[in-house]
Amino acid sequence: MLRVRSTIVAGDRPSAYDPPEGPVPWGQRVLLVAGAALVYGGGRWLGDLWRHAVRDWFQHPPFRGSWVTVEHVFLYSTLTAVLCSAAWWGFARIGWMPAPGSVFRGPIRRVIVWGTVLGIGVFLFDLVALLVLHAAGAMPPGRPPLGWHPMTGWSFLGNLFSNFYEEWVFRGFLFVVAVRVTSSRLAAVLITSVLFAVVHTQYSWALRGLILVSTLAACWVVLKLRSLWPAWIAHQVVDVLGDSVFFG
């Protein structure tokens, strides 16, 4: 499933998702991995400090209303996305990575259709899997798996930003670094998907397994269209549907 029609067809521009034409020197690979680890890990660490500082400054406001948007836009993965953007720009300037803009492409209609279909498909898969996990006793007891609590407009707006930050970091920067370092799309898919699932520590391992499977599907569509947009659209669709009915 992860085999994608090869890189550059006649008249098409190279994509950041294309493996390098030749082997990347080992020194360059080490520096790419070290740089990616530094900006990602540093971004998460600084982001936690930033979030706690801002919440302390505003005296720990309740997580509702407009504050939901504030946290999603400014306090979650914002610093990580900024640092990864800076690193990507720097690596592109010295010719070690393709330009960041090369992940934003694809016919608008296909991007929207594929992103929407992917989002609905992932939601349905998660719905069935969540019900099975609850029936098997693999989820925390005492709480139903489903209930109607529709996403608010503030949450929807905030997710537009925070979901983009996550896709930019994982299906963008880290994925492209992994492709450059391994010269393999499949390796990049597995590395970034596992990392994406593992860092969602707010969820149980069962739910992180669902995240892993969902992310593999998202990577396939990203590679099919050679565009980051459908992953972002799908992420938003899954959150709108899932956050409205899942108790997790």
pTM: 0.91
How far is 170 from 189, CA to CA, in rounded Å? 10
* Token pair in block for residue 40: 């990602």
pLDDT digits (tens, 9 = 90+) for 1-41: 343 333 333 335 678 999 998 889 999 999 999 999 999 99
Higher pLDDT, 208 or 15: 208
Residue from 6, 33, 32, 36 nearest 19 by CA: 6
Of 146, 106, 43, nearest to 233 (Cα)?
106
- Nearest residue to 238 via CA among 160, 157, 158, 121: 121
Whole-angstrom distance, CA of residue 69 vs CA of residue 153: 9
What pLDDT digit, counting tens, does each position of 113-165 carry? 999 999 999 999 999 999 998 888 877 777 777 888 889 999 999 999 999 99
Task: Burial-class residue 245 by CB neighbours within 10 Å (0-12, 13-18, 19+).
Answer: middle
